A and B are shown apart, each in its own frame.
Chain A
Amino acid sequence: MPDTTTQAKIEVRSFSATFGGKPVLRNIDLDVLPCERLAIIGPASSGKTTFLRCLNRLNDLCFGFARSGSILLDGKDIYSPDMDVADLRRRVGMVYAVPVPLPWSIHDNLAYGLKLAGIRDRATIDERIESALRSMVLWDEVKDRLKDPARNLSGGQQQRMCLARVLVLQPEVLILDEPCSGLDPICTAKIEDALAELKQRHSIVLVTNNTKQAARSSDRTAFFLSGELVETGPTSQVFTTPVDKRTNDYLVGAFG
């Protein structure tokens, strides 16, 4: 439901998506506010990831994808023809479920996005890399081996590096697709702590299969089911007094 007090960062309006004619998202209306963590929960194949990948237009690359409705970023339709898609993806940074370090050094992984953005100044690059790594509490662990292959990092370090790789671009919105699904509780806690810190400056959309994670580290929660947005509200309210019976059934573990 639209918030009237603050201008939403992202406004999704009557958005539907299909893959090869098969509906995946049905008529979604959802806002992402500035400096909030919005968790998206729901059972498998409920359209959570598809929704996330629409926010940075990554689904455009998939064969058979079609959509209707609009998604506004700061009031501007991201699907309008004059939108610079590369620039959009810099503003809406995405992290995937599985950490994907490119087969280069840690430094090159982090510098790649800056290079694409046309930033050549070494001092700026190094400074941005350091601050991104610091906000992921990774700087002290890797500062002496930035030239090492990123693949040598542990899984948790890799995922934090992938987050840092997006943060160097200073995105306005972070979209995270189950970023902790393959990580142990300690790594998960590190990332959740970092997200709590990051929401000071970024809007965060977090897709998660872990309802406890949503309860812990989000301000609002949206529940997706079969491509529909069933319910959205402050996390505490959704988890304690859900309006819709289906939300309640999912949260108590009746299905999913």
Chain B
Amino acid sequence: MRVSPFLSQRIVVVILWALAAITVGVLLYIIAYILIHGLPHLSLSFLTLSPEYMGRRGGVFPMVVGTLLVTGLAVLIAAPIGVATAIYLTEYTREGKMTAVIRFGADCLAGVPSIIFGLFGFVFFAITLGMGMSVISGALTLTLMVLPTIIRTSEEAIRTVPHSYREVSYGLGSTRWQMVTNVVLRSALPGICTGVVLSIGRSISETAAVMLTAGSALRLPHSLFDSSRTLALHFYILSREGISMPNAYATASVLIISILALNLVAYWLMHRFAVKVR
């Protein structure tokens, strides 16, 4: 049967539109569902109080602090290492066996299930290195987990910087390092930030790896070697153990709102930066 070009065009448009609508629809449904169940239980005191009765009452203040510490530390450690690796791969070495091995390694690392990272972090950081179940163990484990994302997104961002920029910089008398910092990184910064924001999102929402390394203590961590519970893990425990579904949804709302806010701020910053540069 022959379908007229006009009809096939219409059919394709409808199908593509429907598929796109499904994607956005599912996202909106999830967000709405959680916010509808969670927002009524959300208040300022929920953010500033400590949990009571295992989280049945009270707030999530220690989890907010724990999440900020674990995620912040992880990204703070991973970003410089990842960006440096990307710079090495793109600017300081020629394509060859070495770069292939590093890239393959990063891709493998990206494919490892998070529970395996958790297990490794537990055995290596918590036990072998004697850090125990702690903020630092959790952060280091997440560092390993988000490293491939940061490396590959930074690499892509650096590769989009035109080769002619590099030649101009050399032509004006720059060393390689001056060229990298002044021209390449400055131009690739928005792309690098995207990778970092993605990894922050991934760290914030990680549960399995954090449970095995940072632990699930309810109290406020006083040092990096204290155990701490993140928001995502708190949500998991509240719902999994049927402690308090309202508080679980409220916790999930905090998570979703903060990730949303993070993305908005990141986009705003990138946009501002892009306008300034171009």
Contacts and interface: CB of A to CB of B under 8 A. Distances in A.
Interface of A: 56, 58, 61, 63, 86-87, 89-90, 93-94, 96, 98, 100, 102-104, 112-113, 115-117, 149, 151, 162, 165-166, 169
Contacts of B170: 58, 61, 89
B278 A103 contact: yes
Interface stretch (B55-63, B171-179, B212-220, B239-247): B171-179
B172 A58 contact: no
Given A61-B170, A94-B171, 12 more contacts: A56-B171, A61-B167, A86-B175, A87-B173, A89-B172, A96-B164, A100-B168, A102-B165, A103-B165, A103-B277, A116-B182, A149-B277
A116 B164 contact: no
B172 A116 contact: yes
Contacts of B187: 103
Interface in B148-194: 162, 164-165, 167-175, 178, 182-183, 186-187
Interface residues on chain B, size class: 20 to 34
A116 B171 contact: no
B10 interface: no
A103 to B, nearest CB: 5
A58 B171 contact: yes
A20 to B, nearest CB: 13
A116 B94 contact: no
A169 B173 contact: yes
Interface of B: 94, 162, 164-165, 167-175, 178, 182-183, 186-187, 277-278
B157 to A, nearest CB: 14
A63 B96 CA distance: 13
Nearest to A104: B277
29 contacts: A56-B171, A58-B171, A61-B167, A86-B173, A87-B173, A89-B170, A89-B172, A89-B173, A90-B172, A93-B171, A96-B167, A96-B171, A98-B164, A100-B168, A102-B165, A102-B168, A102-B169, A103-B187, A103-B278, A112-B172, A113-B172, A116-B172, A116-B174, A116-B178, A117-B173, A149-B278, A151-B278, A166-B171, A166-B172
B89 to A, nearest CB: 16
A93 B170 CA distance: 10
Contacts of B278: 103, 149, 151
Nearest to A149: B278
A165 B172 contact: yes
Nearest to A152: B278
Nearest to A94: B171
Contacts of A149: 277-278
Contacts of A94: 171
